Amino acid sequence: MNNGIVLIKPAKAQYSEHEAAEELGVSVDQLRSLIRNHIVETDEDLNNVAVANFHPSDLLVLKILSGLKPSPTPQGLAE
């Protein structure tokens, strides 16, 4: 019982490619496909994705582009 206290996990400032895929609930290959279809213009740009860091706003845009429903509440709320 949490006595009405809501615990919030501190938001991350940056996500790796693997962390971004995990947050979106997709595989790394699906994340790369999503980026290839909506974000990058060349395969050379796609090669830089693995070394890129994603911000929370990037994940929101990728969620919207993928058709995934954005969470109405902040990530990490204790239930």
User: pLDDT by residue (tens digit) across 21-76?
Assistant: 999 999 998 988 888 888 887 777 777 776 778 999 999 999 888 886 555 544 54
Compare 7 and 37 and report the one with higher pLDDT. Answer: 37
Find the domain containing 27 and state its range: 17-66
How many structural domains is the chain composed of?
Answer: 1
pLDDT of residue 20: 92
pLDDT of residue 50: 65
Q: Is residue 2 part of a domain?
A: no
Q: Is residue 3 part of a domain?
A: no
pLDDT of residue 7: 60
- Would you say 13 and 55 are in contact if contact means Cβ atoms under 8 Å apart? yes
Q: Is residue 73 part of a domain?
A: no
Q: Is residue 33 part of a domain?
A: yes
Q: Is residue 72 part of a domain?
A: no
Neighbours of 31 (CB within 10 A): 22
Q: Is residue 42 part of a domain?
A: yes
pTM over 0.85: no
- Would you say 31 and 20 are in contact if contact means Cβ atoms under 8 Å apart? yes
